[in-house]
Structures are given as C-alpha cells and as structure tokens.
Structure 1
Amino acid sequence: MADIFNLRSALVAGVALAALVPATPVFAQAADTMVTEEDEIIVSARRRDERLIDVPVAVSAYSQADLERLQAIDLAGIQGTAPNLNIVQGRGSATSANIFIRGIGQPDALQTFDPAVGVYVDGVYLSRIQGALLSLGDVERIEVLRGPQGTLYGKNTIGGAVSIISRKPDLNVLKGQASALYGSYNQILLNGYLSAPLAADKLALSVAAQWDKRDGIVTDPRTGRKYNDRDSLTGRAILRAQPTERLELLLSGDYTRQRNALTLGYATAPLAGIRPIPANPYGQYDYKASTSFRGDEGQRLDHWGTSLTANFELSDAFTLSSITAYRKLRPDLFIDIDATEAELGDVFVGIAQEQFSQELQLKWNTERFSGVVGLYYLDEVVRSHQEAYADDLLGIPFTRLIDDRQRTRSYAAFGQATYDLTDQFAVTAGLRYTHEDRVYDRLTTVATSAAFQPLFPPFSFPGSLPAPFNNDNKASFGAWTPTLTLSFKPTPDTLLYGSASRGFKSGGFNGRANSINDLTVVVGGVPTIVTQFRPETVWTYEGGAKGSFMNGRVRLSANAFLSDYKDFQARVGGGSLAVFPVLNAGELRIWGLEGEAAVRPTDRWNVRVSVGYLNAEYREFNDGRRPPTFSCNPTGNAITCEPAFAPPLTLTLGSDYTIPLGSAGGLTFGGDGRFVDAHFLSVDNRSNLREPGYWVANAFVQFDSAAGWYLRGGVKNLSNSLYRTDGQEFSSVGNIQTVYFGDPRTWNATVGFRF
C-alpha cells in the first residue's frame, strides 16, 4: 500500500505541476500515434476538422493503429487508456457497455435510466447501453470527450461522450484489409474490410465484417459447463456519393448479432434463503461459478441501424448537414444475478427498443468566426418483458412477471461559436435548450401458489397508487445548458484554455418499482410517495494546456477540473425485502487532474503516458431509511461514503519500438501497462463490492512485410492479475452482492494483410 500511495502522490504532484505551469506541461491530450509535423492528429470534437492541439477541450483520440497496439477487439479495449475513463462489459450481459468518465456513469443497467456518457457512431446517438459494446473493425478513429456535452452534439450527455468515426469509402482508390486471429480458449477472430470506387470521384462503397468466437472462461464445477464466452457477428456497409463538388451523401447500415452463454459473476456475500450459501462458495475466485439455469438459457442480441448523412456546402464558409437515423435493438438476456445454484436472483430480460433521430446543423468557418447551430429530435420507444425467478428465496414457487413501456421524445436547439479576437486569443460560447417528454407504463404480477397469491397483488403504474398519483405516468423535463471557453495560444503549437459548462441528465420513472414501497421515500421524516426522480445537473469548471514540441516529436497537455453535481440519481438497496427505491440522493463534488504525453525519442520508438486523478465525494446523500441522513453506506458510516466507479488514480504507460529489416519490412515490439486504483462497485459502498486496485500489462510483437502482409503475436494480462470490473447489488433479495472479473491471461496470434 505504501508503494501505491507513493506512486499516487508522485503522479498527482506531477500532473498538478503541469497544470500550474502550462508553458511546459508534463502530460498530453492524445494517445494517438506519434507522427511527423506534416501528419498532424486531426479530430472533429467541435464538429469540424481541427488539429488536436488547437481544441480547447479535454479530448483523447485513438487511430486504427492505436487500437491494434492495444489489441482492442471491441469498445472495452480502450478501458483505462484515457484519463479517468472506465469502460467495461456491463454487469451480467455480454452486450452492454458500462462507461464512466470522471466517476460519472449509469449506476443501474436498467433501460429506464439514461446513460451519463453518450456513445455516438458517425454522429448517431445510441440511447441504451445494451448493444453499445461495439466492434472496431472499420473504425477510422475514436474520440473520448470528458465533461458535459450538448452545445455540439445532437443528444446531450452529462458525463462525456465516446464518438466513433467510421472510415469513409475512398472515391478513387481500391483499399482493403483482412486478418485472422487464433488465441486462448479457442478464440477465432476474423476481420475484413473493402473499400471500392464504383464511379471515379462520384460513388464508392465500403463493406466491413467481423466474426468473434471464443469458448467460455468460467466453469460451473457442478456441471462442467462453460460460461462467459464470446460469439458475435457484425457488419457495416457505407455508400458514399458525391454528385457535385459541394454535396456529399453517406448512406450507412450496420448489424450486430450475438449469441452467448450466460455471463456469470461471483457471490461475495452470504446468501439468505431456504438454501443458504456462503460468500465466495468456491474459495478465492478462480473463474468458477455456478448457476441454477440448466438448459440453453443464454443471451441473444440483434442490433441494427441505418443512417443518411448529407453535407452540403452552401458556400466556401457555410455547410449544411443533416443526419437522419433509425435504430432497432432486440436483446433477450438470461442473467443469474446471484451466480450460484440457488434460484434467488435469476431473471430474464427481453427488450424491444427502437429510435428515430433527426439532426440538422449549420456550420460556418471564416477567418475569425466559426461555429455550429443545430436542431435535434429523438423519438425512442423501449418495451421490456421481465421474469424474476426466486423459488429459493421464501421456499415457495415464485415468479415475478413485469411488462413495461417507455416513450421518450427529446427536442433540442443548440449552438456554439468561436471568435478569434486576435491571432492568439479566442472566446467560445455555446447554449443549448433541451426538452423531454416521457410516458411510462408498468404492470407487475406474481405467479405463485394459490395460498400465497393474495400476498402479492398486481401492481400497475399508473393505476395502483392513491390519488392524486393514480395516473401520474407522464413527465416533462427541460434545461438550459450554457458553456463558455477562453483560449490563448502563446505560440502556434501551444494552447492555454479555461472553461465553464453546465450539464443535464433527464429525470424519469423507477423501472424497478414492484409495489408502492419502491416509490415511498422519507422526506423530512415523513414517508412520501415520489413517482419520479428529478433530473441531475452539473457545473464543470476546467483549465488546461496542451502543445506540440520538437517538430511533433513531443505532444503534451494537462488539465484540472471541478464538477458540482446536484440531484444525483441513485438506485439504492437494502432495507425492506425486494424494495428498490430510486433517489435524487443529493450533491457530489468531483475535482481532478488529467494528463497525457506522447513522445517519439527516435524515429523508431514511441512512448505514451496517460494519468488521471480523482477526488470524489458526496456532499449530501439523502436516504431517510438510514441514520444519519447523510450516509450512502448501509452501516450508517458516512466516512466511507464515496461515489462508485471513481478510482482516485488511473495510469497507463505504453511503448513500442520498431527494428527495420531492410527490404523485408520491420519488426515491432510493444506493450502497455494499466493501473486502476481502489474503488467501490456499488452506490452504497458495500465492502464486498469493492475493487482494491490492480495492474494489467499487455505485450505484442509484430512483423510487417514490405509486401503488405503482417504477423502478430500478443499476450493480454501478462501477470494473470485478478481484478473486479463491475458489481451487482441486490441486497434486499437474499443479500445478493455479486462481482464480475476481467479476463485471465490470454495469448493470440494474427496473420493479416493490407492494400
């Protein structure tokens, strides 16, 4: 612990120094490939192509080469590589992306909660975390923006954004690549990409596909069955047309199909019921867990969408863009929440979601004045059918049946503009107004023996509540969210900036309400029915510096930020049997330091560093069921009241070195190590749902031939570290407290070619 403390102290001091002395910052904002001065890193974080070092925003960028070095197959592959970024496979599901930035994310995976971090694919917002763990076969780059977003993006997000930009088909050049990987647990990964011009300068088509299959890494000792496998097929096609020099059309379609076995965690607390089970039933975790499911129950997902983007240059200065998109999501998920042979928290969740979105943008770029104004509309309908099986909880046949439907209509107008007051000083201002209407309907019933049926009457929402709440299933929310940034460029390749921005996340309805108890909270000592949770808002203040030095061989930046959150939305456990209230728990404050560096000591050697420090605390946590009022911890101990998924320190170190082999090609050795500090995996800080901190190291060696083909061998999690990535807290149902673990050490070998 002393070593970790000393490491943390030294790194925090270094980042603090970088933030306070911006003329010579210590860390950088991009994890991209080190390039020559004429090959600048270009991002579109502000809806126009700009050099990364000119963007006064906390943004990290990843090229396709970066993703290959990270051995990233899907979005989880960039876990921990940007400061204060946490991307993991969602709890209990192989299809979900649970994303936290600066300690802010979606603490409950239920579809009635909005993500705090938005995932965008070519400008199209994905409304649900289910199906968002996307494959990366045809990605040009990924941009990770930290902090509230809304004056530039169609859909607002309070914690940050992950923007995935696909490769456009080339209008004149035939391009392609393919690869085949074989690895541990019989993993087979096939990737293919082809871009072909159909009419020179006018029309081109690209097609990409990926097949990923791997045996399960978790074994049930009682049956020998394997779980936590991989089995997905994805494809994307993009048709690009440029009928005139000023008009570009992009028609895109994508499809993802997943067919997995169960995703099992591990029970960390003793389970109560008619079959008591001790904590850690198979001792120290060794990728063994049990389940009460005995058939072919698993996880299925079909996710597809299409979009049409039109970019029309009205003049040399003005461009009008339209993004029209439709998406459909169909996950059918069996989840053993308790991860034991007992039938306590076994569920089926079938979701039917569809969304239509339309975004219009008017962008301009003149000598001193640039910006974008836009309109956005989203219409989403999400239905679910859920079944919860708990025969072993009370010793009676028990199945809860849930059917619900939520419709959300979101409207927004937004704009952001930058004016260069001088060649060095610029001011950026933005404003957004968001209005959302929601309608939510829910019906729960219980299938049990006739003698116990009266104990579990049907509960409908609306319908089962007393007046005046009986028909309270509609809600509207709205907010103004401004932003202001001042930036100064001491030299053409350095930047200093300061900003203030407000973020907003809509309110909603408790999607776990099974009785009036779930909607009853203590307000001022009085039990009160609360049918909705309010929106949460944040003000974030940030200052930073970035620069490029030595002809692009050194790229550095650092930033410091402070975020004040109001009405933080929390689903809390404990208390009465099977009661799941959702609270606007109160206030939290998060401040931190972030930095990245990309250094190229020689033409053959690249070094990358990323570090983030977080100081996150609840300033108020209102849960009237527990004394004192200010406590998120079920023991009432406010000392351990910390926001979940907010590790104080995250660190990534990466390097690669290439040895030229003359006309044969080149040999590259590379690797990276990631440290994630101790943090809680549940909102209410249960000691069983805590990750004590870990290191993960990866390495690869690759031969690139002059003819365009390559061979690569890689190892992930070299030291076979055992680390927790996520948790399930359903303590009010048999004391369920389940954790999920990252993959053990694995190896892989790849052969591929490019042209």
Structure 2
Amino acid sequence: MISVSVKRGALCVLLLSTASGAALAQESGATNVDEVVVTAQRRSQAVLSVPLAISAIGGEALAAKGINNSASLSTAVPNLQVSSPYGSTQPNFSLRGVSVANEYNANQASPVGVYIDDVYIASRTSQGMGLFDLDRVEVLRGPQGTLFGRNTTGGAINFITKKPSLGATTGRVEAGYANFNTFSAQGAIETTLVPDALGVRAAINYQKGDGQLRNVAPGGADANSIDTLQGRVSVRYRPAGGPLDINLRAYAGRDRGTQAGVHGLAAARTGLGFFEINENRVGKNKTDAWGAALNVAYSLSNALTFTSITSIDGGKQNLQQAADGAPIDILDINWRSKFGQASEEARFNYEGQGWNLVAGGFYGEDITKTDNTFNIASALGPGVNGGFYQHYRQKRSSWALFAQSDVDLSDKLVLTAGARYTSDDATYRDGRAFLFLGNIGGAQTPLATTVPCPTAPGTCAYNPNAHYDISGDGSAVTGRLALSYTFDSGLLGYASYSRGYRAGAFNGGGYTSSAGITYIKPEQVNAYELGLKGRLAENRMTLSAAAFYYDYSNQQVQDTRPGPVSFLVNAPKSEIYGAEIEAGYRVSPDLRISGSAGYLHAQYKELSLQGTDLSGNDLPFAPRWTVQLGFDWTLAHPASGDLTLSPTVNYFSRQYFSPFNAKNAAGTGQVNAELQQPGYAKVNLALVWARDGLTVKGWANNLFEKKVYAYGLDLRGAGFPYNFLVPGTPRTYGVSIAKAF
C-alpha cells in the first residue's frame, strides 16, 4: 500500500508540473481573455483570485455549449457526472466521486448542494428544471460546509439568474427547431420603471419535442420526449440609488415529457437498435416547481453590508415509470411526491483594510410527502396481479451559525479561516405500506400490512390504522482553513483543509418491511487541497489547477437484501484523491482554445453489502478520467458578421453504476457486470453567425451517435429476470435564431 503522504506528494508533483507545462505556452501579441466575477465566498471576486476550485460558466457560454438543463453540466466541468433513472428529472450530481451512489428515492438530499441565487433547493426533482436567462453557473468542487452549509460533502452548484440592471430597456428572443420535431423558444425583457431605482425583468422558456427513443410496441409512446414550460419574474428596487437594494424573484415551471427509455428484459430486445425500446406502458414524467425569494441588502457603511435572503419553494412529481423495458407487465412504478420548503439566511459582510469577514445565521425546513405504487404484475401468482403501496411524510429542519474571515498576513499572503455549527432535526411520520391485489391503475384490495411489519411481506395482517413513526437528529461543526499566496507573476497558489457533512437520512425505499426504515449516520468528508490559478502568456491564458485528497466516511448507500428488503446503510470509509486542470488560451482575436481534464481515484476502503466484501471497489459514477477540449474559431466575416465554428470533445473513462462494480452477492442472481459504462467520447458541434445582436446557429450534439448508458440499477438481485439500464441521448441537431435588443 502506498502511504497517504506519498499519494499527496505525487499529486503535488502532478499539479505543479501541469502548471509549469502550461506556462511554457507564453507568446505575445494576442487579445486578453475575459475576466469572470463570482460570489463563491458570498462576495464579488474575480474567479482567479478565489482560493477554491471553481468552474464558472456564463450565460452566453452555456448557450454556446448547448447546455440547456442541469444534466448537461458534466460536459463543461471536470470530475462532474450527472445521472438519473428518470432522464433529466431528479438529477444525481457526482462531484469528485461524491454522490448519492445507488440511492434513487425522492426524499434523499444530494451531497452536492444545489442553489438558485444563494437559495438552497432541497428537492432533487426541482433541481432538474431547464436553464434559461442565467447570468452564470458556479460549480464549487470540494466540501462547502462553511458558507453554503449542510449537504455539501461533494460541493455546491449555484445557478445565478439575471436581475434588472436599472439601466436601459433590453431583451432577447430566440426560436429554434431540432430533430425529433422539437420546437424551442426563449424570451426575456427588462425595463426600468424609475431610472436607477426600479426595474423589472421577465423571462420564459418553452420546449416541446417527440420521443428520442423509438418504441416498437404497438400503441406505445416513444420515450424521452420533451414538454417543458418555465417562467421567471424579477423585480429590483433601489430607492434613489441609495444603500438599500431589494431584489424579488418568483418562478414557476412544469415538465410533461415521457419517461426515460429502459433496457430491461433481454427477450424483449431481440432485433432492436440501441435507441429503440419495446415497451407497452411508456409513462410521463410530470413535474412542477415554483418558488419566490426576497434578497434585501443594506449598506450600513462603505465597509459593512447586511443581507437577508428569505425564500419559499415547492413542487411535485408524478413519474409513471415502466421499469421492465418489455411489452408485458413485469414492473411498473408510479413515483408521487409533493415538496415544500422555506428558509431564511441573514449575514453581515465586512470589507476592511487587510481584513474581510462574512458572518451570519441560517434556518430552513423542508417537507416531502410521498405516495408510491409498485405494480409487480403476476409476481403474486400466475395471472394474479398486485403490488405494494407506500406512504410517508418526512420533515427536516436545520439551523446554523457561520463565519469566515480573510486576513492579509502580508501583501501577498492571505489566511482564510471559517467555521459553521449546524443542528439538524428530522421526522418520518405516518409511514405505512401494504401488499395489494389489483391491476395497474385499477382498484387496490389490501392483503397485508408491510409497514409497520418487521418481517417478510405477507406475514403481518392488514391493519389500515397502523403506521410507523421515527425521528432523528444530529449536529456538526464544519469549516475551512486555507493559506493563499500571490506570486510576483500574478499566479495564486493555495493550500486548504475543509470539512463537509451531509445530514443523516431516513430510508425512503423501505416499503416491503419496516426493518430497514431507520435514521442513519451523517456523511463526513475531510478534504485537503492544493491549487494554482491565474493568467499566463501576457494575459492570454487562464489556468486553474488543483490536487486533492479526501478522507470520506459514512457515504449513504442502498443495500437490497433478500425479501426484497431495502436498507439504507453507511459505507464506513472511502478514499478519494485526484487532480484537475482547466485552461483557456486566446491564440488570436479569432481563435480561443479551452479545455479541462480530471483524474479521479475513488474507492471504498471498508464496505460490505449483502454479506459481500466490496472493499477496494470504485465508488459509483466516478470515472477515472474526464477530459473536455474545444475551440471557438471565427472563420470569416460574411455580411459584416462573425462566422464562428465551435467543436467540443468530451471523454469519460469507465464508470460503474453500483458499489458492487462487477462483483455479485452469493445466491442473489445478480449480474452486476452489466451495470457499468465503458469509456467513451462524444463530439458536439456548433456553427454560429452573429452581427449586431442577431445570432443564427446550427448545432449537433453527440455527432457520431455514441451508444452510452446513463444509469443502471440492480434488479436481478431483487428477483427480477433483468437489470434496469437507462440509455443516454442519441444524436440531436437543429437550428436557432436569436435577436438581442
């Protein structure tokens, strides 16, 4: 075994040699690269001056890269994976190997915190809405347990919307058409009602298209169709241009596309192509999300600002999922949940001579009410249809106090120190489930109570008044300590230690027995990082590189045991280390090259599921290598405009979908080697002509139509004759025209 110190030393060498190699690219005489401003430390800073690993993508860059939903972010951020058993609905973010692993229930919080304008979004269903009219997206890699809070063991993603600038009336409209008969339209308009004091901005996003996976079953709908509509209104009030700045944002959206396609029963796939299915019951993914946030900032002096962020959000999901990929009924699930949350954060920002401070408090609570139905066709007996019904209500509340300070130890050396205390309380109420007799979508005749019932299904008599209640709580101290140094060249180097945690959780997958419904321990990460970032080549190159080591404990994973009974358990110990680099280089005014690469070693040091030792296995959704490379090349200037070619290549090495990797638990019938995606590369391409606010774009994604699985789940171990596999998106292409005014 290589010692931890040797591994850290090797990563340091990799980081420094990568940065040194980039520095050799210096030439002269080209245009400077643009500056990017972020608020990753709850104050405005240039991204290259923040001692954190951050990927910041502006709204225009998102559009140019074809990133129109959160599931597409992995094509622009190193060591980020996005997966889901439900297509773009309820995305599972994996950042540097930290993810929800094989957990798929709606009540679980993501270990990568997702925010809209600094407001934490608890529901993973609400995190899957489309992206539109954004100022930028900030992806913060590594634990963010100081300023962002709980459930950030992997990092944080902050979607920052455009707000009124209190200037001239502006706007933008766009319309597009793509294959699969897909129509899209976006629009935004901003107007100032009182000069420098009162402004309004409104934006809308619409997209509708046919299913992208052809269904050969007679009368069956095609899978992966698109039907989304979203809107947002922002109001900004700054009386007399003074110290008070009030921003109110409200949004609502809904999706009605068909479910993600499934490769399941092998016999039903005879003669089919990869992007074809044979499914008699393709359902719809019906999701809704809405919310409002009030951000009030008041400058008490030139150095001191008070900010209050009050928010309320809600939503629901009704996912009708045929989970067998067959023209016969084997497993059909109706996932139904309603979500609600409210939060308040109040903080002070002080910026003094040689000293900056952010300090404040947070309170938030969220509620999930779930009613799921699992139809298992004739599993009760030949020609006898039935299944399980499940209900529970989960409530979580959290409060925290936090502070972080930057102190200039010299004109080049800065000490960052911060801490956060978080207290969590959670309840699981009215938990009940029963085994029933009945057809899909028909009346249900209860046969036996399964929750509360600690034994196998069918062993406890049906009792409509029985319910299962448990509670859980916890607290944690998290924080950050960093030293950063600015070299004479302007490069920023930093070394940091961070601790993050993800709150304890209830098992939302316990419906065949109450034996597995417990409150398990919180996750914790101790992270060490070295970083280097800045400008090179006479400001024509931007560089950001980092090497990291994680001591990761108690990752929350599912353990489905014979019965089948689902248990949510903790993986005692994991080890993660790796490195990543992002760079952009302006070769000339007409050519800019950009790229990123990530290396990741993420393995369980201690884990046993179903009596099988999985120590040494890779964490799910943690490919060893991720690489993105592209350029923007202005080829010509026809009709006084700019014609720009923008190809990108995205490579991902092999990743597993299960903690078992290719191992099988004895006596289960598992074939876990199916639950993986070998390495692959995808090519995207765009050709854009732009002049005076008018933009015409042609694009293609997955140009060479790589056949890739996006998600997989073990069902053979639960007694079904197949595994659950979700194919990714085929080649898509289209055109759009946009006008800014």
Normalization by structure 1: what TM-score? 0.88
Note if contact 1:337-1:346 (Cα within 8 Å) is conserved in structure 2. yes
SS in 1 for 2:714: strand
Mark the runs of 5 or more structure 2 residues left unpaired by the alignment. Answer: 1-7, 25-29, 439-443, 461-466, 662-671
SS at match of 1:668: strand
2-side partners of 1:199 and 1:141: how far apart? 26
Query: Which residue does the alignment assign to 2:238?
Result: 242
Taking the aligned partners of 1:609 and 1:568, their CA distance within structure 2 comes to: 31
1:280-312: CA deviation from partner (whole Å, max 9, x where unpaired): 723564212233427xx4221121000100011
C-alpha contact 1:15 1:595 (8 A) present in aligned 2: no
Query: Are the counterparts in 2 of residues 414 and 433 from structure 1 also a CA contact under 8 Å?
Result: yes
- The answer to whether the 8 Å contact 1:203/1:242 transfers is yes
Residue of structure 2 in register with 1:457 after alignment: 449
Question: Contact 1:42–1:49 at 8 Å: present in 2 too?
Answer: yes
Deviation at 1:338, TM superposition (A): 2.2
What are the within-5 Å matches in structure 2 for residues 37-436 of structure 1?
Answer: 39-88=34-83, 90-107=84-101, 108-223=103-218, 225-244=221-240, 245-267=242-264, 277-278=265-266, 281-282=269-270, 285-293=273-281, 297-395=283-381, 396-436=384-424
Distance in 2 between the 1:152 and 1:716 partners? 36
- The answer to whether structure 1 residue 556 and structure 2 residue 539 are counterparts is no
User: Match for 1:106: what amino acid?
Assistant: V
- Is the CA contact (8 Å cut-off) linking 2:334 and 2:374 kept in structure 1? yes
The 1:461/1:510 distance shift into structure 2, 3 A limit, reads farther
Flag as ranges the 4+ runs of structure 1 deviating above 4 A. Answer: 12-18, 452-455, 461-465, 515-518
**CA separation of 1:284 and 1:25: change in aligned 2, threshold 3 A:** farther
Shift of 1:180: 0.6
Cα separation, 1, equivalents of 2:733 and 2:112: 31
CA distance in 2, matches of 1:109, 1:326: 25
Residue 222 to residue 128, structure 1, CA distance change in 2 (3 Å): same
RMSD: 2.7
Q: 1:610 to 1:518 in 2, by over 3 A?
A: farther
2:658 pairs, out of 678, 682, 685, with: 682
Map of 1:476 onto structure 2: 473
Aligned to 2:497: 500
Counterpart residue identity of residue 696, structure 1: K
**Deviation (angstroms), 1:733:** 4.1
For 1:76 and 1:151, the matched residues in 2 are separated by 26
Match of 1:31 in 2: none
CA distance in 1, matches of 2:654, 2:723: 18
* Amino acid across the alignment from 1:382: T
Alpha-carbon displacement from aligned partner over 1:361-412 (angstroms, at most 9, x marks no partner)? 1111112101211211111111011111012334322121111100101111
Q: What is the deviation of 1:662?
A: 7.2
Please say if residues 344 and 364 of structure 2, whose CA atoms lie closer than 8 Å, have aligned partners that are also in contact.
Answer: yes
Amino acid at match of 1:251: L
Which range moves more in the overlay, 118-127 or 343-352?
343-352
* Residue identity matched to 1:711: V
- CA shift, 1:497, in A, is 0.3
Q: Is the CA contact 2:450–2:513 (under 8 Å) kept in the aligned structure 1?
A: no
2:75 aligns to what SS in structure 1? Answer: coil
Deviation at 1:87, TM superposition (A): 2.2
Q: CA deviation at 1:345?
A: 2.4
Deviation per CA, 1:416-458, whole angstroms, max 9, x where unpaired? 1110111100110110111111110210012128xx9997434
Match of 2:127, SS state, is: coil
1:75: Cα distance to partner?
A: 1.7
Q: Which amino acid aligns with 1:411?
A: W
Counterpart residue number, 1:588: 574
2:152 aligns to what SS in structure 1?
coil
2:268·2:326 contact (CA, 8 Å) conserved in 1? no
Report the CA distance shift for 1:217/1:455 in structure 2 as closer, same or farther (over 3 A).
same
Contact 1:137–1:192 (Cα < 8 Å) also in 2 = no
AA aligned opposite 1:438:
A
Q: How does 1:583-732 map to 2 (within 5 A)?
A: 583-623=569-609, 625-627=610-612, 630-631=613-614, 641-661=617-637, 664-685=640-661, 686-705=672-691, 707-730=692-715, 731-732=717-718
Q: Distance in 2 between matches of 1:392 and 1:58?
A: 52
Q: 2:526 corresponds to which letter in structure 1?
A: W
Residue identity matched to 1:568: Q
Q: State the aligned residue count.
A: 700
Shift of 1:558: 1.3
| Whole-Å separation in 1 of the counterparts to 2:23 and 2:88 | 34
Q: Distance in 2 between matches of 1:279 and 1:612?
A: 39
Q: Secondary structure at the match of 2:132?
A: coil
How far 1:597 sits from its partner (Å)? 0.7
Cα 1:178–1:13 shift into 2, 3 Å: farther
CA contact (8 A) 2:626 2:653 kept: yes
Deviations 1:57-112 (A, max 9, x none): 00011012211221111122222321101124x21254222211011112312122
Question: Which amino acid in structure 2 is aligned with residue 538 of structure 1?
Answer: V
Aligned to 1:5: none
2:433 equivalent to 1:444 = yes
CA contact (8 A) 1:727 1:739 kept: yes
Contact 1:96 1:131 in 2 (8 A): yes
One-letter code aligned to 2:340: E
**One-letter code aligned to 1:596:** E
TM-score (norm 2): 0.90
Instruction: After superposing the two structures, state which structure 1 stretch, 432-441 or 220-229, moved more.
Output: 220-229
> Amino acid of the residue matched to residue 621 of structure 2?
F
Cα drift, residue 344 of structure 1: 2.9
- Whole-angstrom distance in 1 between the partners of 2:71 and 2:203: 20
Q: C-alpha distance in 1, partners of 2:576/2:178?
A: 41
Deviations 1:626-682 (A, max 9, x none): 24xx32xxxxxx66x221000000000010111452772211111100001001012
Structure-2 change in CA distance of 1:506 and 1:154 (3 Å): closer
Post-superposition CA distance 1:156-201 (Å, at most 9, x none):
4111111111111120211111111101101111010111111100
> Partner letter of residue 352 of structure 1?
K
| Counterpart-to-counterpart distance in 2, 1:35 and 1:142 | 25
Please tell me the residue identity of whatever aligns with 1:166: T
- The residue aligned with 1:485 is 482
Deviations for 1:673-699, whole angstroms, at most 9, x for unmatched residues? 000100101232221110001100011
Counterpart Cα distance in 2 of 1:25 and 1:413: 43
Alpha-carbon distance in structure 2 between the residues aligned to 1:323 and 1:374: 11
Helix, strand or coil for the counterpart of 2:314?
A: strand
Change (3 A) 1:226 1:701: same
Q: Which stretch of the first structure deviates more once superposed, 106-115 or 502-511?
A: 106-115
CA distance in structure 2 between the aligned counterparts of 1:279 and 1:415, rounded to whole angstroms: 59
Letter of the 1:138 counterpart: D
Amino acid at match of 2:116: V
Distance in 2 (alpha carbons) for counterparts of 1:23 and 1:618: 30
For 1:522, the equivalent position in structure 2 comes to none
